[in-house]
Structure 1
């Protein structure tokens, strides 16, 4: 695949979505979905090593260079619906997925909901969302309401240099990540503000979910996946904090599971070539008759 990407924008009915494209039409059509608070640059070190793939990596709504959603919070199904609208703009009736973290969870929702649309789903250190049970729904909704009322009163931080923004992301991130990897994400995630720099991301992304899937909901989506599915699990990633999730993953026999040393962003770190090798094998094995030119 070409080492350089090109920018793309999709004018959808309710918002504009930005993205980065690697490869040419005729390769396996793949939509790339990044993690929470990241952007399409999460694939900058992975994409150039992919072969025979036409990758369209999106800035999901509220992230990167894409528009923000109206005041209502963000949900997995809203983001998944936007992915389908982009696929329509591309003319892709069937396509494969490449998702990291939140993007992997959205990939699972799509693959489980619309198996006839998905050629294959490759996931990196993400599979099922955080869940809660039905009895917890009123308290969860209350947390959302209270936080949404306060979000307008919070100001984004302004940094006097890009380097200080990088340092803030390294120190304040929810998972360990190298400064080098953060630099890729920050370049696309900042905008000028009052003589300095602040985050482009929508403050609403920090709100608690209004509703969460129950564990039964989450498992049902994964069990409904029919397309070839692969999960690259980081041995020092986020899911190792949740033993019950790991146990469930081991029981999904229809998912190709590859465990690899590295942190949550291993695809953006020094493990990127090894992750790319797994992805190349995965996409190359998709049935040839299903791979249509874009």
Structure 2
């Protein structure tokens, strides 16, 4: 596995983000977006298998080595879309493609539908639309979110006495991953603290959403896509486990490929990364 990349920090007008840069400077521009609580290492296996592309694999705000949102700030999913646009502005990219996994795929869909003039192509890995909420549940959900915000100050992150214990915990976490994948994510996502290691991620990322898009909202974004889109669905992933999403995908003008593997099939092993790369090579490099 080749891990050749350049580590950079991007000073945006409102926040500083970290990223890994892959490929030649004159390659076709692609911004790669990882999943919730992951980081740029999510693309450590896949990006080197996509030659000819200039891939900016971001650490989302609050993740990896990127800055956290300011005190009082939140992590609404549409705020990530703004961050991505600012990254593109910094590179001078008026048109670019998006390679997104899980939450990163969802952000990609939102941005591509909202700003079709900016997005060339969408390459999505086991992610499409956010969890939704209907109007009648909104007051309850907001109340739960406010209570969780008040309680956050009294909570502390877990501290792992040894690196391997943190790796084991990540293997069992949301979107369970292989040991090698967990090690890659942990190497970038952990920081030393008294007593061992803890995650760099902002604790606010674990708070419940105060407001969710309705199902109709989510559908409007998916149906509003104007660029070519290709979706890889993992056979043991999260999308195929949701019957309603399966039905939704069947009615969309999106090229869907089902591959063996779990939610992180692009990171779990070289074989999975190779299969995903084979799906996206020609697609992302197309004129």
Q: TM-score range by the shorter chain?
A: over 0.9
Q: CA deviation at 1:123?
A: 0.4
Q: Which runs of 5+ in 2 are unaligned?
A: none
5 Å-filtered alignment, 1:15-30, equals 15-30=15-30
Q: TM-score, normalised by structure 2?
A: 0.96
5 Å-filtered alignment, 1:179-218, equals 179-218=179-218
Match of 2:262 in 1: 263
Q: CA RMSD, aligned part only?
A: 1.1
Q: CA deviation at 1:152?
A: 1.2
Match of 1:133 in 2: 134
Q: Which runs of 5+ in 1 are unaligned?
A: 288-294
Match of 1:152 in 2: 153
Q: 2: CA distance between counterparts of 1:192 and 1:204?
A: 20
Q: 2: CA distance between counterparts of 1:284 and 1:5?
A: 19
Contact kept in structure 1, 2:233 and 2:240, CA below 8 Å: no
Q: Over residues 166-210 of structure 1, what are the superposed CA-to-partner deviations in whole Å (9 max), with x where a residue is unaligned?
A: 011112x12221111111100000111114111000000000111
5 Å-filtered alignment, 1:39-58, equals 39-58=39-58
Q: CA deviation at 1:33?
A: 0.2
Contact kept in structure 2, 1:64 and 1:201, CA below 8 Å: yes
Match of 1:87 in 2: 88
DSSP-derived class of the 2:197 partner: strand
Q: 1: CA distance between counterparts of 2:285 and 2:14?
A: 35
Q: TM-score, normalised by structure 1?
A: 0.94
5 Å-filtered alignment, 1:1-294, equals 3-70=3-70, 71-171=72-172, 173-252=173-252, 254-270=253-269, 271-285=272-286, 287=287
Contact kept in structure 1, 2:167 and 2:186, CA below 8 Å: yes
Q: CA deviation at 1:138?
A: 1.0
Q: 1: CA distance between counterparts of 2:268 and 2:189?
A: 18
Q: CA deviation at 1:272?
A: 0.5
Contact kept in structure 2, 1:73 and 1:210, CA below 8 Å: no
Higher relative contact order (CA 8 A, sep 6+): 1
Q: 1: CA distance between counterparts of 2:176 and 2:189?
A: 18
Q: CA deviation at 1:3?
A: 4.9
- Please identify runs of 4+ aligned residues in structure 1 that moved more than 6 A: none
Deviating more after overlay: 2-11 vs 155-164 = 2-11
Q: CA deviation at 1:284?
A: 2.3
